Structure 1
Amino acid sequence: MSGTGVIAGGHGRVGSVLSGLAVIVGCVLFLGGFGWGAVAYQPYTVPSESMSPSILPGDRVLAERIDGSKVRRGDVVVFADKTWGEATMLKRVVAVGGDTVACCDAQGRLTVNGEPVEEPYLRNQDKASPTDFSAEIPEGKLFLLGDERMGSLDSREHLQEAGHGAVSRDDVSARVDAVVWPLPGGFVERPQGFVALPGGVSQPGPVKLIFAAIVSGALLILGGAAYGPLARRFGRRKASTARDRVTTHA
């Protein structure tokens, strides 16, 4: 009996050490994930339907803080431009400096440098824009459209201005990576229609790693905290079973 008690006690001490270590590591991952997210991302609440159905009005998104030079075609960006009223807006980049963007070809698609672009995120698949347009984008500029092409106020509304409705890369403050509210949310994937164009598409930010760190940390904290009560309950049950066996044999 005494030997069994020593072994059980040894196992209990090891379990306690491991559970404490799990809680510590969990706290580091959990708090570190939130800290990393706060530094790398800015939250933004979408005010309008201009990005529907990809991102809906009232959605809470996480936008990675980036330099405008990192923006690629297909990115959904947060920006503010004085010629657009200086309000913070959210639109999709469909062309960059040096591109010629036009709509629409015989199949109703957007074209960039003469190449048709498939846009499966559009609600109306019949035509990429209800109005035809064409623009040459100056270097250092971005041509931006909302995914709700029927009602979005975007670069098409500013075609007669200098720069043909494009905004400066310097006006971009962030790139959207995820919708976090309402639940279950989801990640904003890079559209494949722009992959074949020069420069390709951008790589996602660290949002998936951040979510993984937070979730893993929470699970470790819960698991480590639950070990003590479960171990004590199991220990009491085991001790009770052992006493019953002794009494039976007696």
Structure 2
Amino acid sequence: MGGTGRDGAGGGRLGSALSGIAVAVGCVLFLGGFVWGALVYQPYTVPTDSMVPTVDVGDRVLAERMGGEDVRRGDVVIFRDKDWGNLPMIKRVVGVGGDEVACCGDGGRLTVNGRALDEPYLRAEGRAAEDFTAKVPEGHLFLMGDDRRTSLDSRSHLEETDNGAVPRSAVEARVDAIAWPLDGGMVGRPDAFAELPGGVSRPGPVKLMVATVAGGAGLILGGAVYGPVAAWIGRARRPKPEAAGVV
């Protein structure tokens, strides 16, 4: 009877130690995930409907901090340019240095270097746009909104020196995901741009970051719950004095 008690106590101490370790590791992952996210991503609230339906007015997006040199066609970027009011804006990159961007090709589609693009992410009733042709200077980006009817983008600056393009240095971040509303999900890379030279960029680490935070929360919860549950199970399994032969 004494041996059983010591085994039970030893098991309880081991369980408490494992529980403490789980909570400690969970705290590291949980807090580390938030710190990692704060260093890599910047939140941004979308102020206009120029990127509907990809992102809507008031959506809260996560934008990976990066310079414009890492941006490729199809990316949705946050940028700031003095010729555009020097305010943070959100648009999609449709052309890079050396490209010829034109509208409109077959079926009213945008063309890049003569290739007509399939753009399923556009607002359906906003596909048509005025005719234009723009040569993108090296080191610059041609930017357009996904709602081509309302977006004030590179088309509105065509008469300027750089044909409406902005320098890559104007880019502050690339949008990877919609954080709010919660069902927003990831912002994908369009297949149409993947077929052009250079392809599209790879998504940032937002999924891994979320998994780290969620895993940490799970360990904290599991570790905190284990102790009380183990103690309750131990009491339930402990033989009653009558069953142990004690009178």
In the superposition, the TM-score normalised over structure 1's length comes to: 0.94
Q: Kindly provide the amino acid, as one letter, of the partner of residue 196 in structure 2.
A: L
Q: Cα offset for 1:53?
A: 0.7
Q: Tell me the distance in 2 between the aligned counterparts of 1:23 and 1:173.
A: 37
**Aligned-pair distance for 1:164?**
0.8
Counting only pairs closer than 5 Å after superposition, residues 1-250 of structure 1 correspond to structure 2 as 1-124=1-124, 128-239=127-238, 242-243=239-240, 246=243
Q: Runs (4+) of structure 1 moved beyond 4 Å?
A: 247-250
> Is the deviation greater in 183-192 or in 135-144?
183-192
Partner letter of residue 18 of structure 1? L
Question: Per-residue CA shift, 1:13-48, capped at 9, x if unaligned?
Answer: 221111111111111111111111111111111000
SS at match of 2:93: strand
What is the CA distance between 1:161 and its match in structure 2? 1.1
The answer as to whether partners of 1:103 and 1:128 remain within 8 angstroms in 2 is no
Aligned equivalents of 2:67, 2:242: Cα separation in 1: 71
Q: 1:54 to 1:10 in 2, by over 3 A?
A: same
RMSD: 1.8
Distance 1:111 1:248 in 2: 89
CA distance in 2 between partners of 1:50 and 1:162 (Å): 24
Equivalent pairs: percent with the same residue? 60
Q: Secondary structure at the match of 2:221?
A: helix
CA deviation digits over 1:37-96, x for unaligned, max 9?
111111111000011111011111111110110000000000011111111100000000
5+ unaligned residues in a row in structure 1: which ranges?
none
Q: Note the C-alpha offset of 1:248.
A: 9.8
Q: CA deviation at 1:110?
A: 1.3
What is the Cα deviation at residue 245 of structure 1? 7.1
Distance 1:87 1:67 in 2: 17
Deviations 1:187-211 (A, max 9, x none): 1111111001111101111111111
Q: For 1:39 and 1:189, locate their aligned partners in 2 and report how far apart those are by CA, in whole Å.
A: 22
